[in-house]
Structure formats: structure tokens, C-alpha cells
A and B are shown apart, each in its own frame.
Chain A
Amino acid sequence: AQKITQTQPGMFVQEKEAVTLDCTYDTSDPSYGLFWYKQPSSGEMIFLIYQGSYDQQNATEGRYSLNFQKARKSANLVISASQLGDSAMYFCAMREGQDSGYALNFGKGTSLLVTP
């Protein structure tokens, strides 16, 4: 069964607007971490933001914030004030358990295009 679901294959947003990329997850482990990565057309995976399952506050990193709704098992990425350079694939990923040695389960990604 898919552990990470990203339902939006592609999204458009106008420059300077905010955009929300959806991510839902499935786990029975009470300890888990959620990650968002950005992959520009050049191919490298860039870590954006992290949310732990016991974190009380939603994570924020600059223009990125994570709307974490634990009961709904969703971890949506919000990008405020979009820029042309935000055009990329975005992947949501989950690591179950406590140890960093466990691998990440990735969603299939959302392609974001920022238009002028």
C-alpha cells in the first residue's frame, strides 16, 4: 500500500502568490518524521523542511511552512510568495521509526510551475 500520497500531479501558481502542495501519509508507528524535497530540472534533490510526529508546532523554514494535521494524517507544504525559481518537482517523504538509518518512503511528486 502507498504510504505517501500526493494527489496533485501538476500545479500552476502565479508569481508572488502562495501555493499549497498536498501530502497524506499512512502509518501505524507513533514515531515518524515527514520531509519535503524539491527537485529542479537539473535533478538534484534539495531538502526543504522537516516535521516530527511529536512536534507541537508546525515547521517553518523561510518561505516554506508545513501544515501538519496529525489526526488527518496530512502534511501539506505551503510556499508563500512564489518565485519563478520555485518551479520544480516537489516530493513528500516519510521515515517511520526513530532511527535515521531507516529509509524514506517517497510520494510520486507534484510538479509546480510558477508563472510570471
Chain B
Amino acid sequence: DVKVTQSSRYLVKRTGEKVFLECVQDMDHENMFWYRQDPGLGLRLIYFSYDVKMKEKGDIPEGYSVSREKKERFSLILESASTNQTSMYLCASSKRTGGFISNQPQHFGDGTRLSIL
């Protein structure tokens, strides 16, 4: 089974801190994603990456950056945490396919509940 591991289930940080959320997958997947989930809003894409050192902005990238130095690891960085970044953060990965409609699902980690005080 695919395993996507997020470094923390719960995290509390202070306003202005630089925050790192780490995600590791063990299935050699090319694609990795960071979402945030807020009640009533569903999941919204922050950033994604389809290869090492590659990154693409999602729908809500402001205030975030990412790093993908190794294939298995995708880090989300809050440059200067603010209270409106209090949320549930979900990391996902998927295998690359192409040439036909891909039925590959995204596999998710257990999520990190981040509180910014």
C-alpha cells in the first residue's frame, strides 16, 4: 500500500514564525500536492510538483512556498505564519501516467492540523 507520511498530526506556532510541514511518500510517485482544508470550503490546492525541483502554483499559493529536493519528499513552508493560515493541511501523491485519461487516484497523508496563535 502507498504510504504518505506527514511529519506532524498537530502543530502550534506563533504569528510571524517560519513553519515547515514535511511530507514523505514511499511509492516512488512523481506527482506531489499540498492542499489546505477549511470547513465549508473543501480542499484547495496550494502547490504541486510533478518532478524533483519542479513546482507549480495552485489556487491559493500566497503566503506559502514549497521545496522538492528529493523525489520522495515535498515540503510546505509558511514564510511568516499568520492566523489566517490556521487550517488542516493535506499532502498527496500520485503516479505519473500520460497518453490516456489517468485513473490514478491521489493518495493522501493523515493531515496536519496547524494552529497559528
Contacts and interface: CB of A to CB of B under 8 A. Distances in A.
B42 A33 contact: no
Interface residues of A, number: 28
A53 interface: yes
Contact of B43 (A43, A47, A54, A106): A106
A37 B35 CA distance: 14
Interface string B69-92: 000000000000000000010101
Q: Which secondary structure dominates chain A's binding surface? A: loop
Contacts of B31: 100-101
A104 B101 CA distance: 13
Given A43-B88, A98-B100, A50 B30 contact: no
B102 A100 contact: yes
A32 B101 contact: yes
**In the complex, which range does the number of interface residues on chain B fall in?**
35 or more
A50 B105 CA distance: 8
A44 B96 CA distance: 22
Interface string B89-110: 0101011111111111111111
A19 B105 CA distance: 23
A50 B98 contact: no
A99 B30 CA distance: 12
A25 interface: no
Interface in B26-77: 30-31, 33, 35, 40-45, 48, 50, 58
Interface of A: 4, 31-33, 35, 37, 42-45, 47, 50, 52-54, 91, 93, 95, 98-101, 103-104, 106-109
Interface of B: 30-31, 33, 35, 40-45, 48, 50, 58, 88, 90, 92, 94-111, 113
A-B CB proximity, top 4 nearest: A100-B102, A45-B108, A47-B105, A101-B50
Given A98-B100, A100-B94, A101-B94, 6 more contacts: A43-B88, A98-B102, A99-B98, A101-B50, A103-B48, A106-B42
